[in-house]
Amino acid sequence: MSRESGEREGPQGASSAVPAVGDAPPAATPGKGTLVGGEGATPTATKAKVKHETDQATPDGTAKTRATVAIGELVYFTAEDVDAGTWSTAGGTGKADGLNYDWRAPSSPGSATITFDPGGGAAPTTVTMKVIAPDSITYSDKKEMSFGKGQAGAGMTVKLTFLPLSVCFWGTQWRETAVDASGVEGWFKPIEQTLKHKPASPRDIGSDNSGPGDKISYTATPPFKDKGKFTWDIPQQVSVKGASNWVDVKKFAQVTSIEPDGTLTVSKNGESVTRSP
């Protein structure tokens, strides 16, 4: 029987009477669907608790529950303490599956707000995520390049790591763009129009925020008789795979200098190599 009839069913179909007049009624605990304010009152609406976790771990071990993520990172959201609701986002893209929401951070730095609305008059729950791009790039595993005997050239290869390590840049890629030379002096002046830095094709960044390598070099053709120098101010850029926009990280000055005997020095981002022909 229903509560309105004054009886409720017990085990095996037995009936038990409701408390007699004067007895204290059983206490009601407000929650999902609890009636408050007497017969006919509207059920209380429960605000959802929202948890989130990133798909990828960070190189430095920062928790997956972090609120700062890299451009393009994937984050899983889950609503608790409710039975249903709707998801929305201001920034990035998302895919809802009931109480679960797979959210992809936007391809540009900034902030994004993910909202879960349980309906029924309850206040929505919002989570704000900070979205960042790399703020610097470090070099490691420097190796000097070899050149033929008598050839004037200097160069090195390095491995790039993208900071900070407290987010994961897996799913992004790096490139350098074409630039003209500046500060051209001495031996390089007659060939200034040929001193163009070639763009680097996009290279994937791994889950440890490293992976791409850079080849930094210059070769010169004799005769040599003067000192000379020039600079390439090379933009370092990253992009989420599949996105159309590239984000500038910073510029690296690649400086090349030559001595009258053909000795070349090439430096970039704190690393340098010198070689004589």
Q: Tokens 């053709």 belong to which residue?
A: 221
What mean pLDDT value characterizes the chain? 87
pLDDT beyond 70 at 86: yes
Q: Can you tell me the distance from the alpha carbon of 205 to that of 171, in angstroms, rounded to the nearest whole number?
A: 7
| Top-confidence residue, 217 or 28 | 217
Nearest CA to 69 among 84, 46, 89, 52?
52
Q: Can you tell me the distance from the alpha carbon of 89 to that of 114, in angstroms, rounded to the nearest whole number?
A: 4
**What share of the chain in percent tops pLDDT 70?**
84
pLDDT beyond 60 at 29: no
Q: What is the pTM of this model?
A: 0.81
Per-residue H/E/C for 122-135? CCCEEEEEEEECCC
Return the pLDDT at 150: 75
Collapsing DSSP to helix, strand or coil, 94 comes out as: strand
| Top-confidence residue, 12 or 244 | 244
Stretch 179-203: mean pLDDT? 95
| pLDDT digits 0-9 by tens, 96-108 | 999 999 999 999 9
| pLDDT digits 0-9 by tens, 223-239 | 999 999 999 999 999 99
